[in-house]
Structure 1
């Protein structure tokens, strides 16, 4: 029997209407919208701290991962008034807007609201806003490691270990996670010792110079086959990175998954670091938040 088209619920005292819960959003896996909402609800205790204070960009898939998708930064007028919004300047906006009303996910009702919109992917910048909605200096340094085929996440792991050591020499502790796609990311708490993109670029170029057959620091596709691109530009304040514990719109409901360094050190096959929503919930129950830095 099909579920009702609309289901009124209360989440922590907030009234929500969930819709089309039996719609399959991951056809190859048979993963429904109800399961997306269930995943985000159950992972919320470890996810919400990483979203707190960070202006949200979502990637929505109303007809599933095989259908059309779109990024959404601006919180539409019909967004519930209890969802936190912050108006921030967006210089150089492709839609010629001077400012955007960004949503900020800080509680379970807001997270469920967006899950019900089929906002499968949650992307956030490396900075937060304060209680008044003013942008704060960046608090996170991120390196996005993108393998150029035939390289895989296995090669990304080797580069991640190099990067970990370089960061440690500068007094920074790196934490690894999968992107939930092909590659991975390294995060470190940032103390604003200098402009983060400049610092990250310098480290990427250093590793490219020391390991020219493994590392590339430029985006040009022709330079990347068989190497790992260290994308330092993710530290630009206008850019976002997929949040820890966010789903990804792949064939399977994979998740951007925090890792232990022993998993990075021991990785020999790409499939070792593929984690679905169910895998991640089991990991969190066993290990807690491996990204417990927020």
Structure 2
């Protein structure tokens, strides 16, 4: 084994690590070893959100300034102890009917995918073999709108969803905007959940048309927050809570309290994304602010019905 490769044993599994000094975020001097260290330390709160879900990895073999690619299927050399699930892929661009997905259920698998320069991890709104148990609303700001404006829309969305008995939990995207994650009953199809999310998004856009849009056309987004209801479609995934994001400096998709969201919306606190050290400190302080996502939520109403 070459000097820049070595094996470690994690929970009884042998995992090969390599090139730990390689810069993944060159502008910040953040190495692959630090990426792996972050994922190892955040694993206790991140793994429950990955468990049972087919993982899409965005890999940056030469760091965030180099080429990257999305990887859904198992890579060559996958250890035999990694959980794999063969699943249909609706809308595949490569005309494949099924893909053998990696499921990141444990720490050895998380470290293994991190060592493959999988900086970002994305997951669907359902566990393998089940209907959606999450509804996700993505709030995407069109410049000059930013995260502050997203926070204001998030409060409106939270209150509207509460009318239907749906609880919403906020997190930053780690990039420009944020998401609201809602635990749901797991008894509705992706089509029903997506239709309901679209209906609510259109209601809010009609209520505040100068600040909110529910239309995907980029031409109508400048200065507005796009409520992306389509994240609940069968072919979509969303960045997993606590996942790193690729950018000039390392940031992560960070759970927030509603008090923080309101403070960011009103300007009492800076509306910003958080780095990995900050995320780990927040976990130490708060635990997993998204722990309630792991419990069953209420039934999503049919899209043509309002309580």
TM-score after normalising by structure 1: 0.95
Q: How many residues align?
A: 287
Partners of 2:155 and 2:232 in 1: how far apart? 20
Distance apart, 1:273 and its partner CA: 2.6
Partner of 2:297: none
- Where does 1:1-294 land on structure 2 (aligned, <5 Å)? 4-129=3-128, 135-191=129-185, 192=187, 195-267=192-264, 268=267, 272-293=271-292, 294=294
Q: Which SS does the other structure have where 1:283 is aligned?
A: helix
Name the CA distance, whole Å, in 2 between partners of 1:72 and 1:123: 10
1:21-78 alpha-carbon deviations (Å, 9 max, x no partner): 0001001110000000000000000000000110010000010000000000000242
User: Aligned partners of 2:35 and 2:91: how far apart in 1?
Assistant: 34
Normalised TM-score (structure 2): 0.91
Secondary structure at 2:53 match in 1: coil
The two structures, once aligned, show a CA RMSD in angstroms of 1.4
1:98 to partner: Cα distance? 1.2
Distance 1:290 1:143 in 2: 17
Per-residue deviation at 1:270? Answer: 8.7
Distance of aligned partners of 1:25 and 1:269 in 2 relative to their CA distance in 1, 3 Å threshold: farther
- Residue 48 of structure 1 aligns to a residue whose secondary structure is helix
Deviation of the 1:90 alpha carbon: 1.5
Deviation at residue 177 of structure 1 after TM alignment: 0.2
What whole-Å deviation, never above 9, does each CA across 1:234-275 have from its counterpart, x for those lacking one? 000210000000000011110000000011000128954321
Cα distance change, pair 227–270 in 1 and its aligned pair in 2 (3 A)? farther
Q: Is the 8 A contact 2:72 2:101 kept in 1?
A: yes
- For the structure 1 residues 22 and 75, does the alpha-carbon distance in structure 2 shift closer, same or farther, using more than 3 Å as the test? same
- Classify the secondary structure of the residue corresponding to 2:27: coil
SS at match of 1:56: strand
Hey, what's the Cα distance between the residues in 2 that align with 1:214 and 1:27?
A: 36
Q: Distance in 2 between matches of 1:84 and 1:34?
A: 24
- Greater displacement, 90-99 / 234-243: 90-99
**Runs of 5+ unmatched residues, structure 2:** 295-307
Contact preservation (8 Å) 1:154, 1:270:
no
Looking at structure 2, the residues matched to 20 and 10 of structure 1 have their Cα atoms a distance apart, in angstroms, of 17
Distance 1:270 1:183, change over 3 A: farther
Distance change >3 Å, CA 151–CA 259, structure 1 → 2: same
> Structure 1 CA distance, aligned partners of 2:137 and 2:15?
37
Q: Would you say the 8 A contact 1:4–1:20 is kept in 2?
A: no
